[in-house]
Structure formats: C-alpha cells, structure tokens
C-alpha cells in the first residue's frame, strides 16, 4: 500500500447533491480492507438511466460491475451519485457502458474489472454491451452476472 494518505471521502456521511454530469461526478476511493486477498466485488444497478444522444429520450439498463480490488475500493455512495449523473447525459449504450468501466479502472486501479450493460430495447432491439480490463486473475471466482437476455413480456 502507498505511504501517501488518501483524501477523506467527499460523500461518505455527508449530504451530497446529484452531479449535473458524469464529468462533474467525483468518485471516492478508500483503502482495501483486505489488501493482498483476491476477491470479487459486485455492484448491480438495475434501474440505470441515460439519454439517447439522437432523440433525447430516456434509455434504461441493468448494469453489473464486477472487480477484484487492488489497493483501493470504490466508495458506494460516490458510485451511486456517479451512476445517477448519467440521468441527464446523452450517450450511446456502447459509450456509456465502456466509459463507466474505463473510468473506474483508470481511477481505482483494481486488479481486474468488468462491466455488463444490459440495455432495454431501443427501436425494438435490446443492446447488451460488455467490457473488461483484461483476462481475470487465475483463481478469481467469477459468478454469472445473473441478467438473462431480454425476453419481452414472456
């Protein structure tokens, strides 16, 4: 672990407003409570929303973020605020999903990260987007993300 002290979390235990955009959102990271241990953390956001960059209509997705922590973990309140900031953000499904994964990976520096974006139909076609940082570490338990393919009302 680095000798540089981490800044105090900005959101933890504080009243925080929803950021106006993903660029304005500040993600907080705290020290990994189990450094050196290989384990998986999962965040599921089943009611994620962003806006279609063409029509401005809302798009809905079920996001699943899995990562194997390095020296830090993402503080969950800051992640919720970051994800909520997409509510007024225009972006294609691919850009939104991959962008979230890449930002988390670049800032948190986990051992490994993957994101699954299970988007509800736009124009009658569901779009699922997947990104991972690299091959998962050997011996990391990777459960299925648990989100089935879109089946409509059936």
- Known catalytic residues are 52, 59
Is the CA virtual torsion 30, 25, 64, 95 positive or negative?
Answer: negative
Task: Specify whether the CB–CB gap between 30 and 108 falls below 8 A.
Answer: no
Task: Specify whether the CB–CB gap between 105 and 133 falls below 8 A.
Answer: yes
Give CA–CA dist 60/99, Å, rounded: 16
Give CA–CA dist 133/104, Å, rounded: 10
């Amino acid at each position: 672990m680095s000798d540089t002290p981490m800044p105090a979390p900005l959101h933890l235990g504080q009243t925080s407003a929803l950021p106006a955009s993903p660029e304005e959102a500040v993600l907080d990271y705290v020290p990994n409570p189990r450094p050196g241990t290989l384990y998986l953390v999962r965040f599921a956001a089943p009611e994620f929303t962003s806006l279609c960059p063409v029509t401005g209509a809302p798009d809905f997705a079920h996001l699943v973020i899995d990562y194997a922590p390095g020296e830090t973990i993402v503080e969950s309140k800051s992640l919720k605020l970051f994800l909520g900031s997409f509510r007024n953000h225009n972006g294609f499904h691919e850009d939104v999903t991959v962008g979230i994964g890449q930002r988390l990976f670049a800032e948190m520096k986990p051992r490994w990260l993957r994101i699954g974006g299970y988007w509800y139909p736009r124009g009658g076609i569901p779009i699922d987007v997947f990104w991972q940082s690299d091959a998962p570490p050997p011996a990391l338990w990777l459960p299925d993300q648990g989100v089935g393919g879109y089946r409509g009302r059936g």
